[in-house]
Structure 1
Amino acid sequence: RAAAEAREAAAAEREKALGELHDAVERRQEAVGEAGAARAEALEAIQEALERRERALETREAAVSAGAAELKTKPERAETDALPTEHARLASALSSARAELAETREVASTAADIARQLEEVVTEQRSLLDVAAKDRDERVAQMQLLTERLVSLEREAATRELVGGGGDSAALAEA
């Protein structure tokens, strides 16, 4: 009888430990999801800022191009001393705007790649945690079946002892 109680207590401890493990897995899954969502939001904000920057650069590039075209179409300005300096300044600004736009596009592309990779990691983590939860549920069910079987065997052994089959209970206890 004491052995049966000890086994029941051990089974209860194992079930409690599995429950705590399951709770920890669920908390981890929630944390992974929250971290992934926060990172995705941050990357989305970066992406939006980069897109605004790209639009501003495109506007600036258009203004610089319009200014350069105006210099070419107004012959009266060609006679001024400022023309070569202004043309060089506009060409430099246009070149700078194009370089900045290319860099912005590259950063935006990298941010999008990071967001996709992060989403893949979060999806894989959730999948692994789902598998762990399923495994835990299967183990709990298996432990319940084993506990029920053990209780059944102990009842049979107790019944046999009452009837007078003490040798059978010793063999059953060994099994």
Structure 2
Amino acid sequence: MTAKPDDVDLRVRRRLRELRTQQKLTLEDVASRAQIDVSTLSRLESGKRRLALDHLPRLAAALAVSTDDLLREPEQRDPRVRGTPQTHDGVTFWPLTRHGPAAGLHAFKIRVSARRRTPPAELPVHEGQDWMYVLSGRMRLILGERDFTITAGEAVEFSTWTPHWFGAVDGPVEAITILGPHGERIHLQE
């Protein structure tokens, strides 16, 4: 099957950006090396300008790759998320998302130790929103003056401006949680 010109253009744009960012080069770096205007390079990468054949050898040379390498499909990244679990204050967090996309949100599978039963004297408050889905066990959630038991199959969502804490009721709890950057900082690093 023959690639359409639009497919080739899109492929080169993606490959150009991929190679530039892998090499930690700015638009200015590549434009200078390729002897093209920075705005032209920016429009090429964003698709606001069509790629001309005379751009290919100059861009390839600027990125120290062959023209063939610039034309090939970008490598598909390994989709598996491999993160090291972290344990803090009786809760172990396994990352389910990479840091970066997802609008700054990060998903974790968590395991709350059966020993985590006593809330601190002062409940934490921080910027953000937390969302949790209990997979197994019974979770105790304190929100301000209210005390809840969340069971397997139930989800909760709450503003973290409300003083809050979660722990186990009568055994370990497993859950999925989605945290914003402020929540992640509080739960994993305090």
Task: Return the TM-score normalized by structure 1.
Answer: 0.20
Larger RCO, structures 1/2 (Cα 8 Å, 6+ apart): 1
Is the radius of gyration larger for structure 1 or structure 2? 1
Judging by fraction of residues, say which structure has more helix. Answer: 1
Task: Return the TM-score normalized by structure 2.
Answer: 0.19
Judging by fraction of residues, say which structure has more strand. Answer: 2
